[in-house]
Chain A
């Protein structure tokens, strides 16, 4: 069981609560996002590109007080995230007020 915390806009879009519980097939960043998009199809394209699966530029991934945004998709999730002790945070980056 993996806990994911979504930013406010994606909670609204996905009609989800602040914390989402996922069962993942692969305990990697990419595997977590696959499971999230399968459970909430309306989030497809909102976090990463439909085709390239590249993270959108102003989205960040945090966990266990670390920034995992720039790690490859096949990077293993931290043990504390896999065990459900710590959440995986999807965050809208600071945009300087331009959005």
Chain B
């Protein structure tokens, strides 16, 4: 029988939530790495018991942990993230040049074909790769070095590379997103990169349709149509039909198009989910009502999904890596909040229930569907 494993990273530890395919009763394991910030955990699609976790601390810096048994035991791996060559400068908040400094790993993306290969998106923005199961790391420096790097600037959360998508039909092609530089694509496994921000418009930069400088919060794709991308930008929900070469806005009837997460239904490539947030200065749901919005048309036409979600006095946020889907039938949708709840829907969003509701602030949610 199928089983679901939900990997939850929080401000003060990691939690592993497991259930059978019914997704009604849950076992909760954790906190793992109690007291550490767990930015992201993710399992290898090749070997689901191989998990990678980003563990960090304001005191003791970055650690990478690896599990070979689905999260029961963990082993510290390599944490030496050194930029290639002389890293140079990017823009600081005041517009002055600021040296590139490694701070933390925001996102770990295991390879689709090799359990020992994993990519790391880091702050200050760069991409690293390990091919030995996270023991050693090398920077894919063509990203920082492609030309616009000195003009990148941090968002309020730091200059983070937070999204990594690998094209399942062509592993040489990958997409990344950086706050606040924008989206980039490689077609040669990370050697060279180019910005893919045509069609984005951001009022917080001097030239609203500039090549770089956009605060992209999250990108999602469906495996069956990897050239179609969906984006939750700082403001605006966007869609591309051509691997990011061009984007168009699909915010449609959303009550606000600010937000962080976006994801795609496991079996319906035109069904997408967002969690609208009131504004960039008020990071909570409109009117205190927590709502997921679903579009079955790939954007523009959205419906509110509220059954089981708090509809009064709810002022949490849902951060950019904190939504995921399982691949069961019906598709399960999951998201975590800064209030420590992890909500699950076993019916593609029609109804919701909390799996847990008093964790530390949730930073990330990933789901594994196990047979």
Which stretch from B52-60, B224-232, B247-255 is at the chain A interface? B52-60
Least CB distance, A96 to chain B, in whole angstroms: 10
Q: Secondary structure at chain B's binding surface: helix, strand, loop or mixed?
A: loop
Instruction: Flag if A44 contacts B57 (CB, 8 Å).
Output: no
A46 interface residue per 8 A CB criterion: yes
Instruction: Flag if A50 contacts B62 (CB, 8 Å).
Output: no
Instruction: Flag if B58 contacts A99 (CB, 8 Å).
Output: yes
Given the complex, which residues of B lie within 8 Å of A21, measured CB to CB?
Answer: none
Given the complex, which residues of A lie within 8 Å of B58, measured CB to CB?
Answer: 58, 95, 98-99
Instruction: Flag if B59 contacts A9 (CB, 8 Å).
Output: yes
A78 interface residue per 8 A CB criterion: no
B35 interface residue per 8 A CB criterion: yes
| Contact flag A51-B59 (CB < 8 Å), given A9-B35, A13-B76, A42-B76 | no
Instruction: Flag if B59 contacts A95 (CB, 8 Å).
Output: yes
Instruction: Flag if A44 contacts B60 (CB, 8 Å).
Output: no
Given the complex, which residues of A lie within 8 Å of B63, measured CB to CB?
Answer: 13, 42, 45-46
| Contact flag A56-B61 (CB < 8 Å), given A44-B80, A45-B79, A51-B82 | yes
| Contact flag A92-B60 (CB < 8 Å), given A9-B36, A51-B82 | yes
Partner pick for B60 among A13, A50, A51, A98, CB 8 A cutoff: A13
Q: Secondary structure at chain A's binding surface: helix, strand, loop or mixed?
A: loop
Instruction: Flag if B82 contacts A92 (CB, 8 Å).
Output: no
Interface string of B9-47 (1 = CB under 8 A from A): 000000000000000000000000101110000000000
What total of chain A residues lie within 8 Å of the partner, measured CB to CB? 21
A56 to B104 CA separation, bound complex (whole angstroms): 13
A92 to B59 CA separation, bound complex (whole angstroms): 6
Partner pick for B59 among A45, A50, A56, CB 8 A cutoff: A56
A93 to B60 CA separation, bound complex (whole angstroms): 10
| Contact flag A9-B76 (CB < 8 Å), given A46-B63, A51-B82 | no
Interface size class of B (residues with CB under 8 A): 10 to 19
Given the complex, which residues of B lie within 8 Å of A58, measured CB to CB?
Answer: 58-59
A5 interface residue per 8 A CB criterion: no
Instruction: Flag if A56 contacts B80 (CB, 8 Å).
Output: no
Partner pick for A47 among B36, B37, B60, B80, CB 8 A cutoff: B60
Instruction: Flag if B76 contacts A50 (CB, 8 Å).
Output: no
Interface string of A70-99 (1 = CB under 8 A from B): 000000000000000000000011010011
Question: Which chain A residue has the least Cβ–Cβ distance from B76?
Answer: A42
A2 interface residue per 8 A CB criterion: no
A96 to B222 CA separation, bound complex (whole angstroms): 43
Given the complex, which residues of A lie within 8 Å of B37, measured CB to CB?
Answer: 99
- Contact residues, B61-79 vs A (CB, 8 A): 61-63, 76, 79
| Contact flag A93-B59 (CB < 8 Å), given A9-B35, A9-B36 | yes
Interface string of B75-118 (1 = CB under 8 A from A): 01001101000000000000000000000000000000000000
Given the complex, which residues of B lie within 8 Å of A12, measured CB to CB?
Answer: 33
Least CB distance, B244 to chain A, in whole angstroms: 34
Q: List 21 A-B contacts (CB under 8 A).
A: A8-B35, A9-B35, A9-B57, A10-B60, A12-B33, A13-B63, A42-B63, A44-B79, A45-B61, A45-B62, A45-B80, A50-B82, A56-B61, A58-B58, A58-B59, A92-B60, A93-B59, A95-B58, A95-B59, A99-B37, A99-B59
Complex A-B, nearest 7 residue pairs according to Cβ-Cβ distance, in ascending order: A99-B58, A92-B59, A46-B60, A42-B76, A58-B59, A45-B79, A50-B80
- Starting from the known contacts A13-B60, A42-B76, A50-B79, 14 additional A-B residue pairs (CB-CB under 8 Å) come to A7-B59, A9-B35, A9-B36, A44-B79, A45-B61, A45-B80, A46-B61, A46-B63, A47-B60, A50-B82, A56-B59, A58-B59, A92-B59, A99-B59
